[in-house]
Chains A and B, each alone.
Chain A
Amino acid sequence: DIQMTQSPSTLSASVGGRVTITCRASQSIDNWLAWYQQKPGKAPKFLIYKASTLESGVPSRFSGSGSGTEFTLTISSLQPDDFATYYCQQYTHNGPLSFGGGTKVEI
């Protein structure tokens, strides 16, 4: 099974700052990577798919990049609403799916 490793597990940032989260796959997943945002007590929200395509309605300050085994999620100018936990997730056809361990973005 493919393991997903996110780093850091927690990061402190300020409003207006730039944030980068890394996700590494234990083997190549091409660009089959998605990102989610989760706030306490809520279901996750779908942000990005195919590594870099923004889901409809997601602000353009969010961006994703990468392919193969290394991926990043960047928030260009952090807003108060962005303080949350972020997860990456891989998809392999006809196989198990998996999430990264999460990155909590806090003030």
Chain B
Amino acid sequence: QVLLVESGGGLVKPGGSLRLSCAASGFSFSDYYLTWIRQAPGKGLEWVSYITTRDEATYHAESVKGRFTISRDNSKNSLYLQMNSLRAEDTAIYYCARFGTLTGGFDCWGQGTLVTVSS
């Protein structure tokens, strides 16, 4: 059974930092691109970042470029998102998702972790 479990969310002050983690199981982790997608309360989905199989390349949305960094540890089947200089508009549920380059879609999602940026 494919499983993605996010952790690390919480309440942080504007300007603060947070590191999200996503633990994967049930599939060959190093064979897949992985992504972070977020959803602000009552809003739509926003792609945040993705990383290739062996960290050859990473891509970030303009809204987080220079502040967020995606990384992975294939030896631990884990994905990370380091979030710095957080703003109120970063408040959202953050999902990690498995991305299929053959399908061009996110075929497996975690349950999400809530990040709240507020003073």
Contacts and interface: CB of A to CB of B under 8 A. Distances in A.
Interface of A: 1, 32-34, 36, 38, 43-46, 49-50, 53, 55, 87, 89-91, 94-102
Interface of B: 35, 44-47, 50, 57, 59, 61-62, 95, 100, 103-112
A43 B111 contact: yes
B109 A43 contact: yes
A43 B95 contact: yes
Given A33-B104, A91-B105, A43 B112 contact: yes
A50 B106 contact: no
A97 to B, nearest CB: 4
Contacts of B62: 1, 96
B47 A96 contact: yes
Given A89-B47, A99-B47, 9 more contacts: A1-B62, A44-B109, A45-B109, A46-B106, A89-B106, A94-B57, A97-B50, A97-B59, A99-B45
